[in-house]
Amino acid sequence: YDAFHKQHPTLPILSSEDTSCFITRGEYRNDKEKQTGDSGDTYAAPWGATHRNAWRAIATRPFIAGGFVWTGFDYHGEPTPFAWPSTSSSFGILDLCGFPKSAFYIHQAQWRNDLPVLELIPHWNWPGMENQPIRVMALSNAERVELFLNGKSLGEKAVDPYEMVEWQVPYQPGALEAVGKKRGQEVSRKKVETTGSPVSLELIPDRSGIAGDGEDALPITVRVLDDKNRPVPTAMLPVTFTLRGPADIIGLGNGDPRCHEPEKGNQRSLFNGLAQVIVQTQAGSSGPLVLRAESKGVQSAELNISVNPAPEKPFVPKARFSQRIDRWKASPGFSVKPDPLLQVPDNDMNSWSSVTPGKTITLTQGSWSIFSAKIKPFMQQQKNGGVIHFQGIEGKAEIWIDGKLSATKSDFSSGTLMAPFPAGTGERKIRILMESKEGNPIGFSSIICIQPSD
């Protein structure tokens, strides 16, 4: 940024792609063997930066307007810096299911000043690590955060708006709680607790109802609770789903870049406490919808979803494709009525003149003239036919299409004319035999176009 700004000091800058940091939701170690990235925001690509450092580089330079983080969501493919069995990226602020990673709360704390933000990482389930230090981070937009373990204060620290704030805490089971403060007053509070074993499943819909239009889809979060109804953040249970009602399961996920379970079907394992099932209604449906989740050894869960009659969708009228016919040739004048299908010798390059709709002609001899055009219609007109709309035609006229009479105009006055245009493929030949009166103009005073017949 600085080198470019030095060369172009008056030019505003926008970061088109930055960060490229590897985070696996719910994982707290950089582990090449397990192929996981630390939720503590410590593992960036050689060409990139952590979420905190990437934003600091932008926010501390007033000549940079902002940036685009690579990426908002994880995505299938590019499992950099890993390879098989990882099958998706881990760059995202959100995982494949849209579940927030720690990066979500880091940026929320950095970017939002309209609400208090406070999140604690990691979870507090670390059996076998008693008295060993655990890195604890408070992701907050408060001025200061005080941390408590089982009710005992571990000290209050100022929050760096870019780096956040952290402690090394000897692990003891129980409750880890943070209190965010501004000007000495509490503005936010967050608690994580050591949970018990999984006891029951829970289904949380994105919203309470879904439209029965065959298109609306509803993501549903799946998690497992302990005996005190607390989410178990380390649960990896397999879950089977049953759906009753006018809908289908269209997707399954859990956000694990290494998970090879099918994303279609009715089974999915939790990954670090979470999974997702997506249901979609059938067209024209209404009434109740029931999703049931089951896993061996825990209480099942059922979710009732309202399928609401879908209102008619607003729409614009079907497009009517009109094709203009702008290139015409006009014959010299005839004193007696000619054959409208008169063949013109291939070597005749001069006797017929070019004419354009919007400009009439006055014959210098005779009172009849033949107007000729060739056109390849649009596919819609080739298939269904249509009408040729003459929006301004002067003189009497016979309209011939591919050698057949289509319409006539029997008076000399200026007027409009609609000539049926039959369906057909390939190049089409249009001939118009026109007759003038007492030297008056003949021809086309306005545009000509082929329109759909409906």
Tens of pLDDT along the chain (454 residues) come to: 999 999 999 999 999 999 999 999 999 999 999 999 999 999 999 999 999 999 999 999 999 999 999 999 999 999 999 999 999 999 999 999 999 999 999 999 999 999 999 999 999 999 999 999 999 999 999 999 999 999 999 999 999 999 999 999 999 999 999 999 999 999 999 999 999 999 999 999 999 899 999 999 999 999 999 999 999 999 999 999 999 999 999 999 999 999 999 999 999 999 999 999 999 999 988 888 999 999 999 999 999 999 998 888 888 887 778 899 999 999 999 999 999 999 888 777 788 999 999 999 999 899 999 999 999 999 988 999 999 999 999 999 999 999 999 999 999 999 999 999 999 999 999 999 999 988 899 999 999 999 987 6
The answer to whether residue 318 sits within a structural domain is: no
Q: What is the pLDDT of residue 385?
A: 92
User: Is the same domain home to 348 and 246?
Assistant: no
Structural domain of residue 388, as residue ranges?
323-452
The answer to whether residue 26 sits within a structural domain is: yes
Output b/e per residue, 281-297; b: 16+ Cβ within 10 A: beeebeeebebebbbee
The answer to whether residue 125 sits within a structural domain is: no
User: Is the same domain home to 429 and 349?
Assistant: yes
Q: Dihedral of CA 256/261/266/268: which sign? A: negative
CA distance 367 to 435: 6
Q: How many Cβ atoms are within 10 Å of 116's Cβ, its own excluded?
A: 16
User: Is the same domain home to 144 and 218?
Assistant: no
Strand segments (E) across 212-365: 217-225, 238-244, 247-253, 267-269, 275-281, 287-294, 301-308, 323-324, 328-330, 353-355, 360-361
Q: How many CA within 13 A on the CB side of residue 346?
A: 0
The CATH number of the domain where 380 resides is what?
A: 2.60.120.260
Output b/e per residue, 250-263; b: 16+ Cβ within 10 A: ebbbbbbbbbeeeb
What does DSSP say about strands 287-294 and 13-19: parallel, antiparallel, or unpaired?
Answer: unpaired
User: Is the same domain home to 339 and 442?
Assistant: yes
Backbone angles phi, psi at 389, to 5 degrees: -100, 110
The overall pTM is greater than 0.85: no
Q: What is the pLDDT of residue 46?
A: 96
Of the three residues 169, 194, 219, the one that is the final residue of a domain is: 194
Both tokens of 246, joined, read 């006018």
Cα-Cα end-to-end distance for the chain = 60
Of the three residues 246, 277, 308, the one that is the final residue of a domain is: 308
The answer to whether residue 176 sits within a structural domain is: yes
The answer to whether residue 166 sits within a structural domain is: yes
The answer to whether residue 119 sits within a structural domain is: no
The CATH number of the domain where 186 resides is what?
A: 2.60.40.10
Query: How many structural domains does the chain have?
Result: 4
Q: How many Cβ atoms are within 10 Å of 20's Cβ, its own excluded?
A: 21
Phi-psi region of 174 (alpha: psi -120 to 50; beta: other; left: phi over 0): left
User: Is the same domain home to 332 and 448?
Assistant: yes
Q: How many Cβ atoms are within 10 Å of 324's Cβ, its own excluded?
A: 11
User: Is the same domain home to 334 and 405?
Assistant: yes
User: Is the same domain home to 175 and 232?
Assistant: no
Of the three residues 284, 308, 332, the one that is the final residue of a domain is: 308
> What Cα–Cα distance (Å) separates residue 373 from each residue in 349, 358, 400, 427?
15, 15, 11, 10
Q: What is the DSSP letter of 438?
A: T
User: Is the same domain home to 187 and 218?
Assistant: no
User: Is the same domain home to 7 and 56?
Assistant: yes
Q: How many Cβ atoms are within 10 Å of 83's Cβ, its own excluded?
A: 9
The answer to whether residue 313 sits within a structural domain is: no
CA distance 403 to 301: 74
User: Is the same domain home to 379 and 448?
Assistant: yes
User: Is the same domain home to 8 and 101?
Assistant: yes
DSSP H helical ranges for 82-146: 102-111
User: Is the same domain home to 390 and 365?
Assistant: yes
The answer to whether residue 116 sits within a structural domain is: no
Q: What is the DSSP letter of 414?
A: -
> What Cα–Cα distance (Å) separates residue 366 from each residue in 318, 335, 337, 370, 439?
46, 4, 9, 12, 9
